[in-house]
Chain A
């Protein structure tokens, strides 16, 4: 079943409270087992004494990141229905520096102070009281802090969108960096323990579950990178795969639209992104609607998504229905880079952009869903939490 289950309406709010409680239970248990109820152990990272914070945190990030990337690549998780924290560089850099200072001063961060208090540590409880006090100070001085809080707003941008690197490549890189950090800190630990053959043991081919896990992470990361780089060119990783001939260059599509040639552009992104900007005359359809949508057979259907991955999967669906379909090469990202100029982007909305003559050219014969929110995506609930994030 495609997730996120809550966002796609599989269960309601009350069940959500039970689910988040159970998730919290597991989180608290693993934090305790990691030793994160101990301030000295946590603070050890800042004195190069104990690397548990780095190891636990990066292992969790690598596991969860690979999980997310695989689930979404297999179509089991709708990434656009996920709660991605927005980027506000000012608040996040200043807040991060300040949180690091608070961490080493108090010995905890919010989550670990709860676990410390649960294991009987009075300083954990006092830290929690401090948190409430500090939040109150923030609330009282919000007028004064709001400038910094809002500064550097970039929306929900990912590292891969920001750097232009593919998500698979970036994921593989993060795996390698994490494993490099693990190897370096293990080596430092052995050096400190005074092992004469620290290098020798590090280099040996001793098989342990850590090494097996590291090897597995490298393989998973590499497969992901390869699969994504193929999918990024519009070729689907699903069984019925598109080939290079099924791609259309952004410039060719632009030319077809400008000449009013029969072409129907289907935009697979979520309605909010579609509302912000879309190729003139494009229709907004959810992936789930493709199997049944009434699509024109007298014209070429061109699929577009952000980077072409989703379009690759959609191609397989339409191809199996015998509809003449092309994938916009490189997705909207390449379209932006090659066809749409920055001035067009600023105009926003559904106004005619790069190709005024072509606006609406693709509309006749298109399903009625044009620019209306598709039912599936329209019913998406966002992760339920305070509107100001937690």
Chain B
């Protein structure tokens, strides 16, 4: 017996939920949401496992190791663990926890997974270059009206629309 998934919320309602979460985060912790930072921490930890001396003197990653703590003992890592469990909770309660690969009907699974990996890799470079991603920079910085956050947000849409035509087949 398989129940049908509940419909998604109205985007405005979900947006209000995220907006209120942001306000709470700003008021309680003084900063907003984030996601890519946790991936940078994990990457730093992996680098460190392979080449400790190199990583501890690396101009980008060395700050993660100051104070001798694990780079994973970081707020952003806890936030993303929370987001994973929150997403799991959401999917479970809506009957949407289903294994699978998102793609257009006629598009091969393998190709879609390669595109997902490539997109992830490009995004990984991009988020470090921009000092944040859609959560941390566009959403949180955008609501704080930071100039760089709005420049970033407009650039994300521009980049997406420029590329959309070339990868359209995976969705249809």
Contacts and interface: CB of A to CB of B under 8 A. Distances in A.
Interface SS of A by simple majority: helix
B24 interface: yes
B91 to A, nearest CB: 4
Interface string A21-47: 111111111111111011111011111
Contacts of B27: 3-5, 71, 76-77
Contact of A31 (B26, B42, B83): B83
Interface stretch (A81-89, A224-232, A265-273): A81-89
Interface string B80-97: 111111111111001011
Contacts of A116: 87, 102
B15 A122 contact: no
| Size category of the binding interface on chain A | 35 or more
Given A19-B28, A115-B87, A390-B76, A99 B145 contact: no
A6 B32 CA distance: 13
Contact of B39 (A32, A102, A106, A128): A128
Nearest to A43: B171
Nearest to A77: B27
A170 interface: yes
B48 to A, nearest CB: 11
A59 B58 contact: no
A244 interface: no
A309 to B, nearest CB: 14
Interface stretch (A49-57, A235-243, A335-343): A49-57
A355 interface: no
Contacts of B58: 139, 142
A108 B126 CA distance: 13
Interface in A250-271: none
Contacts of B13: 33
A94 B141 CA distance: 17
Interface of B: 8-44, 46-47, 58-61, 63-64, 74-76, 78-91, 94, 96-104, 112-113, 115-164, 167-168, 170-171
Given A85-B131, A92-B151, A110-B39, 17 more contacts: A5-B28, A17-B75, A20-B29, A57-B139, A61-B143, A77-B26, A85-B144, A91-B130, A95-B128, A106-B115, A110-B127, A119-B96, A133-B120, A139-B47, A142-B60, A159-B147, A390-B35
7 contacts: A3-B30, A4-B26, A30-B17, A33-B14, A100-B160, A105-B167, A138-B125
